[in-house]
Amino acid sequence: MTAARLEPARLDPASIEILRRRLEAIAEEMQGVMLRSAVSPIVREANDASASLFLPDGTVLAQSVSLPLLLGCLVPAVGRLIREFPVEEMRPGDIYLMNDPYDGGTHIPDVSLLVPVHAEGQVVALSTTILHHQDMGGLTPGSVPTHATEIYQEGLRLPPLRLAREGEIDAQIMRIIGRNIRTADAFEWDLNAQISACRTGAARLQELAAKHGAAPLTAMLREQVRLAEAATRAAIRAIPDGSWRYEDRLDNDGVDLDRPVPIVVTVTVAGDELTIDFTGTSPQVRGPVNAAPAGVMAGAFFALRAVTGPDIPNNGGCFRPLRLVLPEGSLVNPRPPAAVNARTATVKVLTNAILGALAEALPERIPAANAGVSCIVSFGGRREDGSPYVVTEVIAGGSGGSAYGPGVNGISTDVSNTMNQPAEMLESDAPLRVRRVAVRRGSGGAGVHPGGCGILREYEVLRGPLTLSFRGERHLNAPRGALGGGPGQVAEAYIDRQNGVREEIRSKLSTVLHTGDRLVMGTAGAGGWGVPS
């Protein structure tokens, strides 16, 4: 349409689709600004950040193609921010942020940031980002202590805060943050990357509002959400009604290393609604694998989108047919002050479990279990000049075989979507040598379509001491195959000390490495699909 302004009565599918693509392009532009502007390797190389646009009521409008875990976690974070700071009171230039896992967040390194979008004297949308900051304080560099037993050990918690009023940054908030983290300069750079991305999104939305008018634009945005909900409900109706149960477990919680942690999920389809019930899942545990509801929601959102098809826009309408049952005091809805920094392993395993349950209804559409792990390795210490450093690697396993072909080796799957970091980049930021990067041949499960293989990595410490936080999974419980396919090979990791002693790692460990020590690890392979010939 070429008219300058669209009245709600004149909305047509072509206009709605054009607007959808424009919003998605804005979210992608925000993502690009954030990744190009950040300085921490976990963001600029691994892309551990996400951007989204929201309606003023907290309904998702569009998302960047990034990490489903972070995109899903933005939903409760934005909801919490607008409850604390009503949009009617927001002014142009305001900036809001938070990270508290017990107040709308997910885990402490992930900081959510919001900029309101004003047009014609009112807030017409919200421009938001979430970014994994390299360090937020706590027991260990990287703020992911695998032996934490309460949230107070994991770093600085930020409740919903107004960081800037009409463009003026609150210097006191920045001073408080800077005094409590190891890499204050990197935090400020990365936070500015988030702010720049949000302001870019706001400017693009203001251009749309100037073209169409605030009220007609709002009508078009809400129509997009309505259409996505209708399409999602239709896709759910195409799934047979029924209930399906799936059980899996974590190796341990990082503290009680001999005690597995069960995850139980029942998925029920009834008409055009889907319920995911975690009744029977482990009570909350001492270690940091507890998952705040935000992360569980993200896993559920991903699973729902995976079975309803890629053609439906990623907005809040998709999530309206979904109901979650998260027992209070459980692994998936812990009470404070339970530790939660290692929730990624829990969210990945429970996402696999949701898909495993749905595979009983859709056996030809759901692949075998992926490796179920994003192994997080954080190194921290001091350079020769005394300045602190923190570097974090996210290492993938394989994806599951499916009716469409074999799994992929060493790829981020389901809720995770991070990139591997070049060895040269890691070596330039920390006194480490990456001695080996390879595919872990033979680790994928057998099948008509085999599972993807895991990854081998070996690090040598060139100058110690440095602190290591190792958050792994699937060292004891193999990813399952599907329709007769074989399981993937379990993960393994160990430290070869300079004095010749080898120390096995049982999934999770926080320790100190010295000059000459080597960390050797291999992530799990994925399950195979179909009975092997």
pLDDT reported for residue 125: 98
Q: Give the lowest-confidence range in 249-258, 305-314, 485-494, 498-507.
A: 305-314
pLDDT tens digit sequence for 351-392? 999 999 999 999 999 999 999 989 999 999 999 999 999 999
Q: What is the mean pLDDT of residues 290-304?
A: 97
Residue type, 250: L
pLDDT tens, 192-238? 999 999 999 999 999 999 999 999 999 999 999 999 999 999 999 99
Q: For 383-523, where are the E strands, in sequence order?
A: 388-396, 432-440, 454-461, 466-471, 492-496, 502-504, 508-513, 518-522
pLDDT attached to residue 48: 97
Using an 8 Å Cβ cutoff, are 470 and 146 in contact?
yes
User: Per-residue pLDDT for 9 more than 50?
Assistant: no
Give residue 1's pLDDT: 33
Encoded amino acid at 498, one letter: Q
This model's pTM is above 0.85 = yes
pLDDT of amino acid 10:
56
Contact 448, 531 (CB under 8 A): yes
Mean pLDDT of the chain: 95
pLDDT at 4: 41
CA distances in angstroms from 257 to 254, 315, 467, 519, listed in the order given: 6, 40, 20, 20
Quick: pLDDT tens for 168-178.
999 999 999 99
- 17 pLDDT higher than 50: yes
One-letter amino acid identity for 15? Answer: S
Domain residue spans in the chain?
Answer: 8-228, 367-533
What are the distances in angstroms from CA 322 to CA 42, 105, 208, 315, 347?
32, 20, 31, 13, 17
Predicted pLDDT of residue 318 = 96
User: DSSP code of 75?
Assistant: H
pLDDT at 6: 43
Our CA angle for 516, 519, 523, nearest 5°, is: 165
Instruction: Give the C-alpha distances (Å, rounded to integers) separating 385 from 134, 379, 430.
Output: 20, 17, 13
Mean pLDDT of 445-459: 98
pLDDT at 140 over 80: yes
d(CA 449, CA 453): 12
For the segment 246-258, the average pLDDT, to the nearest whole number, is 97
Q: Using 50, 70 and 90 to split pLDDT, how confident is the model at 533?
A: confident
- Helix spans in 11-52 (H): 13-37, 41-44
